[in-house]
Structure 1
Amino acid sequence: MNNRIPKETLPFLKKLSKNNNRDWFNDNKPEFKAIESQVKATYNALGELLNQHDQIDKVKVFRIYRDVRFSKNKLPYKTHFGGSFHRKKPELRGGYYLHIQPNNESFIATGFWEPNKEDLLRIRKEFEMDDSEMRDILKKDSFKSTWGGFVGDELKTAPKGFDKEHPAIDLIRKKQYIFIKKYSDKEVQASNFIDHVNEAFIEIRPFFDYMSDVLTTNLNGESLL
């Protein structure tokens, strides 16, 4: 099992960021394809680790080619590798993401990026009714030391139909429920990097278990599946 990011990855991405054009990329495509193959193997290895404690039904490593059709940025290539790990739906909610980028810009992310309006309302209603279980998850020492707190977009005031003075308004007004953990280039290149990523993802499970339970039941706790 290839559980290490190949040492050539970050140097190649640095060169690509300085030469983000088709001529250079085509001249260096054999090196890229060799690195990409190893990187995909590493993502798949992480997927296997995740499957030891979760149910992952899809590992997706995103293409290096940028979609420039509707972007002001016309550079043709991404200067990072990114990949997602999909949990088995519909009973398991949430997902994992690994981003590899030089200059200490690598990170992992997890949670709920763009919950649909029905899911967002259901989450907010749960917090309105009882936020104690979520508070217990967030204040656990090992969770805080690994993930910190929520990041992402939120409303400046209460959503329509909610009391702006509600004790859980800090949770209710969020539009996303995301956690991010950053890594240095040295950490990414370490032989045990993927193991550290897997351990961080293990730490998020109480949050996922809670949110999956919320999003697969109604406010009476009755299953929607």
Structure 2
Amino acid sequence: MTYIFDHTTDIETTLEELDVKFTCPNAGWVRLMIKPLHKTRGIDCSYVFDPFPEMIEWLEQIASGARTATWEIDEEGQTSHLQFYAAPQTFGKEPGNLLLHMQSSDGGILRIRGTRVDRRQLVESVYRTFRTMTADPAYLPREWEMHPQFHLLDDLDEEEEEYEREREKFPYTGHNLRQLTSVVVENYLAERADSDRQLTLFSQ
């Protein structure tokens, strides 16, 4: 069993800009990379245990000021937990929150990595990058999403050719990722952007 511990907890550590990437779905898989947490291997998201509705809930918790929030991703064989921990406030500011990525399997913990993050930058980078991925021309719904008329397939005989033709159009059963948005997150980002603009004006 491989065990890697790379965990930055020093409160004086300089915050690193997150570089988040979601690959477009391919055969029911999406890979998530968050640098500096991930250098070569990220998190493999499966349509079987579609984690993205829970990702939106996780981001909403963080945007709403949660002190801790966890997003669990079942990678079919191992499990990833992305855990956000808010740092104690100093003079009304958070000096650097902690983002941990823990991967485990039935054999125990495989690896733990961590980095200091800014709350807003974490929410914005994950949410905006996810939305950009779903709007990418390379995003093919059939590589992840369930049939848009999935409920109507129940009316067809599973042994008939028509059923097979329809199933082949959308062979996976993930959520429609293009529809996964959050008013909570978007309002949070808009409010913070307005606040930043006001601070810039006052500083001039």
Q: What's the TM-score bracket when you normalise by the shorter of the two chains?
A: under 0.3
Task: Choose between structure 1 and 2: higher strand proportion.
Answer: 2
TM-score using structure 2 length: 0.27
- Write 1 or 2 for the structure with the bigger share of helix: 1
TM-score (normalised: structure 1): 0.25
